[in-house]
Homo-oligomer: A and B are copies of this chain.
Amino acid sequence: GAGADNDLYINQAIVFIEDAIQYRSINHRVDSKSLWLYRCYYSRTCQWILSLTITVILALAFIEEPSSLTVTSDVRYRLPAWNPPCGLTESIELLCFLMFVIDVSVKSYLIGWKEFWKNKWLIAYILTLIVSLADWIVSLSFFCKENVRIRRILRPFFLLQNSSMMKKTLKSINSTLPEMASVVLLLAVHLSLFTMFAMLLFARTKDNQQDKEWVVYFRNLPDSLTSLLVLLTTANNPDVMIPAYSKNRAYSIFFILFTVLGNLFLMNLLTAIIYNQFRGYLLKSVQSSLFRRRLGIRAAFEVLSSLKETPAGAQQSCVSVGALLQVLQKVEMDSRCKQAIMRSLKMCSCDQLSAAQFQKLFEELDKDAVKQHPPSPEYQSHFMQKMQFAFGHPYFGYLGNVVALANIISICVVLVMDADKQLSERDDFFLGAINCFFILYYLLELLLKILAMGLKRYLSYPSNRFDGLLTVILLILEIATFAVYGFPHPGWRPEFMGLLSLWDMVRLVNMLIVFRFLRIIPNMKFMALVVTTLLDLVKNLRAFAGILLVVFYAFAITGIMLFKGAVQAFFIFNFLIQTPFSIKKVVVLYFKGKKVISWCSAHFQAEVIYCFLYVLSVHLIYRWAKIYFVAWWLISSVIWINLFVALLLENFIHKWDRRCQRESLSDIEYQRTVELMFRDVLEEPTEDELMEKLHQHPHLQLCR
Residues of A that sit less than 8 Å from B by CB: 73-74, 179, 182-183, 186, 193, 196-197, 199-201, 203-206, 219-221, 234-235, 237-239, 242-243, 246, 249, 259, 263-265, 268-269, 271-273, 275-276, 279, 408, 411-412, 415-416, 419-420, 423, 503, 507, 510-511, 514, 517-518, 526-527, 530, 533-534, 537, 578, 581-582, 584-585, 605-607, 609, 644-645, 648-649, 652-653, 656
Q: How far is the CA of A663 from the CA of B541 in the complex (A)?
A: 35
Identify the 5 closest CB pairs spanning chains A and B, nearest first. Answer: A220-B419, A272-B652, A237-B582, A182-B526, A242-B606
Q: Can you report 13 residue pairs joining A to B where beta carbons are below 8 Å apart? A: A186-B527, A196-B412, A200-B511, A201-B511, A220-B419, A221-B412, A237-B585, A238-B582, A238-B609, A265-B537, A269-B533, A271-B645, A272-B648
B220 A420 Cβ-Cβ under 8 A: yes
Say whether, besides A203-B507, A238-B578, A272-B652, A514 and B197 are in contact (CB < 8 Å).
yes
B242 A607 Cβ-Cβ under 8 A: yes
12 additional A-B residue pairs with CB within 8 Å, beyond A203-B503, A220-B420, A271-B648: A193-B518, A197-B514, A200-B510, A203-B507, A220-B416, A234-B582, A234-B584, A237-B585, A238-B578, A242-B606, A268-B645, A271-B649
Say whether, besides A200-B511, A584-B584, A246 and B415 are in contact (CB < 8 Å).
no
Count of chain copies: 2
Q: Which residue of B lies closest to A527 (CB)?
A: B186
- List of B residues within 8 angstroms of A578 by Cβ: 237-238
- List of B residues within 8 angstroms of A649 by Cβ: 271-272, 275
Interface residue from B219, B408, B517 paired with A420 (Cβ < 8 Å): B219
B415 A200 Cβ-Cβ under 8 A: yes
Q: How far is the CA of A631 from the CA of B196 in the complex (A)?
A: 39
Q: Which residue of B lies closest to A196 (CB)?
A: B514
- List of B residues within 8 angstroms of A219 by Cβ: 419-420
- List of B residues within 8 angstroms of A652 by Cβ: 269, 272-273, 276
A644 B196 Cβ-Cβ under 8 A: no
Q: Which residue of B lies closest to A242 (CB)?
A: B606
- List of B residues within 8 angstroms of A537 by Cβ: 265
A379 CB to nearest chain B CB (Å): 38
A526 B606 Cβ-Cβ under 8 A: no
A656 CB to nearest chain B CB (Å): 6
Q: Which residue of B lies closest to A206 (CB)?
A: B423
B408 A259 Cβ-Cβ under 8 A: no
Say whether, besides A275-B649, A411-B196, A582-B234, A419 and B514 are in contact (CB < 8 Å).
no
A314 CB to nearest chain B CB (Å): 49
- List of B residues within 8 angstroms of A269 by Cβ: 530, 533, 648, 652
Q: How far is the CA of A239 from the CA of B586 in the complex (A)?
A: 12
Q: How far is the CA of A253 from the CA of B96 in the complex (A)?
A: 32
B507 A265 Cβ-Cβ under 8 A: no
A260 CB to nearest chain B CB (Å): 9
- List of B residues within 8 angstroms of A179 by Cβ: 526
Interface residue from B221, B517, B533 paired with A193 (Cβ < 8 Å): B517
A605 B246 Cβ-Cβ under 8 A: yes
A530 B220 Cβ-Cβ under 8 A: no
- List of B residues within 8 angstroms of A234 by Cβ: 581-582, 584
- List of B residues within 8 angstroms of A517 by Cβ: 193
- List of B residues within 8 angstroms of A653 by Cβ: 272, 275-276, 279
A95 CB to nearest chain B CB (Å): 31
- List of B residues within 8 angstroms of A420 by Cβ: 219-220
- List of B residues within 8 angstroms of A197 by Cβ: 511, 514
Q: How far is the CA of A239 from the CA of B416 in the complex (A)?
A: 24
Most buried by B among A196, A197, A273, A537: A196
Say whether, besides A219-B420, A237-B585, A412-B221, A514 and B273 are in contact (CB < 8 Å).
no
A575 CB to nearest chain B CB (Å): 11
B200 A246 Cβ-Cβ under 8 A: no
A186 B526 Cβ-Cβ under 8 A: yes
- List of B residues within 8 angstroms of A221 by Cβ: 412, 415-416, 419
B581 A259 Cβ-Cβ under 8 A: yes
B514 A408 Cβ-Cβ under 8 A: no
A443 CB to nearest chain B CB (Å): 22
Say whether, besides A204-B423, A263-B581, A584-B584, A408 and B238 are in contact (CB < 8 Å).
no
- List of B residues within 8 angstroms of A527 by Cβ: 186
- List of B residues within 8 angstroms of A243 by Cβ: 606
B200 A276 Cβ-Cβ under 8 A: no
Most buried by B among A73, A203, A221, A537: A203
Q: How far is the CA of A403 from the CA of B537 in the complex (A)?
A: 50
B264 A644 Cβ-Cβ under 8 A: yes
Most buried by B among A219, A237, A249: A237
